[in-house]
Amino acid sequence: SSETSVAELDWPALAERVRTCTNCELHGTRIQTVFGVGSENADLLIIGEAPGAEEDRKGEPFVGRAGKLLDAMLGAIALSRDDVYIANILKCRPPNNRDPQRDESTACTPYLERQIQLLQPKVILALGRIAAQWLLQSDAPIGRLRGQKLGFGNPETPLVASYHPAYLLRSPAAKAKSWEDLRLVRKILRTTP
């Protein structure tokens, strides 16, 4: 029931809670929620910003053009979509793809925190400034946050921040740094028991 706290929900109950969520105003403009996809045994959790138009229509994260590039990025470290878990800070699309508002991120983050708790990933890859700054509670530019092992939450999960694939589509020169970040992710996966 809705009296059960989010922190106690199992995967199916959490997905259902998100599907029927009205905790912020974005529920009024969504087609559907985008809960997340992938393996519930994944060692790598990828966190983006929010669903776009295509994701809102399909109910799946990163299915547009940026998603195709994300698949290629995963391929570069010998991973596929089925090996990882992919979610966003916001489960609903902001109108016209505007940035998430603080109250929306605050309302939605308990769902992500429960996803992390259920998943227990070895490492989180935060894609883009919005996701990285929110998770790290930092105002530093993404160019400063990327390239190193940081951490999220308590107990702390290792976190690597990197560029958003939509940014890489506009600025292909940044791909070299993105591959460095992916190799760091790979190394953390390899060295974490």
Which residues bind to ligand URA, rule: CB under 6 A?
48-52, 55, 61-62, 66, 88
Q: Judged by CB, which is closer to ligand URA: 52, or 158? A: 52
Min CB(3)–ligand URA separation in Å: 30
SS3 for 128-140 is CHHHHHHHHCCCC
Q: Considering beta carbons, is residue 70 or 77 the nearer one to ligand URA?
A: 70
CB 57 within 8 A of CB 71: no
Residue closer to ligand URA by CB (options 61, 121) is: 61
Min separation Cβ 54 and ligand URA, Å = 8
CA distance 49 to 140: 17
**Could you tell me the smallest distance in angstroms from the CB atom of residue 49 to ligand URA?**
4
- Burial track 153-165 (b if 16+ CB lie within 10 A, e otherwise): eeeebbbbbbbbb
Nearer to ligand URA, 50 or 161 (CB): 50
Nearest by Cα to 29 from 63, 56, 6 = 56
Alpha-carbon torsion 165, 60, 68, 152, what sign? positive
**C-beta of 59: minimal distance to ligand URA in Å?**
11
Of 149, 92, 155, 94, give the one whose Cα is nearest residue 125. Answer: 149
